[in-house]
Amino acid sequence: MGKRALLSLLLGLVSSFILSCATKPVVHEQAFILIPHSQELAIGNRAAAEILKKEKLVKDPRYVKRVERVFKRLLKALPPKFRKLYEWKVYVLNNPQVNAFALPNGNIFVYKGLLDFVKDDDELAAVLGHEMAHVILRHGAEKISWAMLAQLGENLLLSQVSPVNRSLAAELYDLGVNVAFLLPYSRKQEKEADIVGLLITTRAGYNPEGAIKLWERMVSRFSGQEPPEWLSDHPASKERLDYIKKVVEFLRKHPQYVEKFEIPQKLLEVD
């Protein structure tokens, strides 16, 4: 690639970054999103269809009705615009893992293992609220956009490297981008979802202390099994517990933020 073409590509990258910056709802921070909302929904729909083909759903009403009851209460507590933007659904997967995840279309999947782990509806609400926050904050679209930019950067780099060295250069690039940027950004998203999730559960009338109890047990059970934080896409469990306690206390003292469905910048910076 010649210098003129390289400069043109770099200018294009900068222009894309500037034009694609949007403001996240609730937290009012800048987000880098390259895909429209319609594509976000389409990606989620395709992913959900693939998951439902491969995974078995739990049909036991003791699990399904419990999850649906808590989910509907949380959904009702959202401001109307967020209820309408997404195709909100919840599924229970027959998987023993203590986990849950959300797709960018509003579909949320909860593993049976997590339902066996939580002690009450307050704890379950903390998990579901966290996943709903990921959707509202458009974290899936952000990740897709940053991955697209990282791939473009890799292609640009490799075009300047001799063929014999491209394999090594690609490995070093992927490692550097992940450790220096993508993983830290993912940890930031998790923190945002923890905080906004507490806002959702509090608005729905659940006791946010449930999140504290849940993470106290998470720390007890999983903290010794976690990788070093700098190699993880999630904050360390002990760190999460510490800032969740502070967020719960803040929202208790400042109910106006719960009513407005907003998070102040200073709360995002709590550690």
**Per-residue pLDDT at 102 exceeds 60:** yes
Residue 63 falls within a domain, yes or no?
yes
Residue 7 falls within a domain, yes or no?
no
Residue 6 falls within a domain, yes or no?
no
Task: Supply 240's token pair.
Answer: 């999460």
Give the number of other Cβ atoms within 10 Å of residue 250's Cβ.
17
Residue 145 falls within a domain, yes or no?
yes
Helix axes 61-77, 121-136, angle to 10 degrees: 50
Residue 144 falls within a domain, yes or no?
yes
Q: Are 111 and 124 in contact (CB under 8 A)?
A: no
Residue 4 falls within a domain, yes or no?
no
Q: Using alpha carbons, list the distances in angstroms from residue 48 to 9, 34, 44, 52, 130.
A: 35, 21, 6, 6, 19
Residue 123 falls within a domain, yes or no?
yes
Q: What are 205-252's pLDDT values in tens digits? A: 999 999 999 999 999 987 777 777 656 778 888 999 999 999 999 999
Residue 15 falls within a domain, yes or no?
no
User: Which position among 131, 142, 190, 192 bears the catalytic label?
Assistant: 131
More confident residue, 23 or 172: 23
d(CA 5, CA 106): 40
Q: Is 131 among the residues known to form the active site?
A: yes
Tally of domains in the chain: 1
Domain holding 214, by residue range, is 22-268
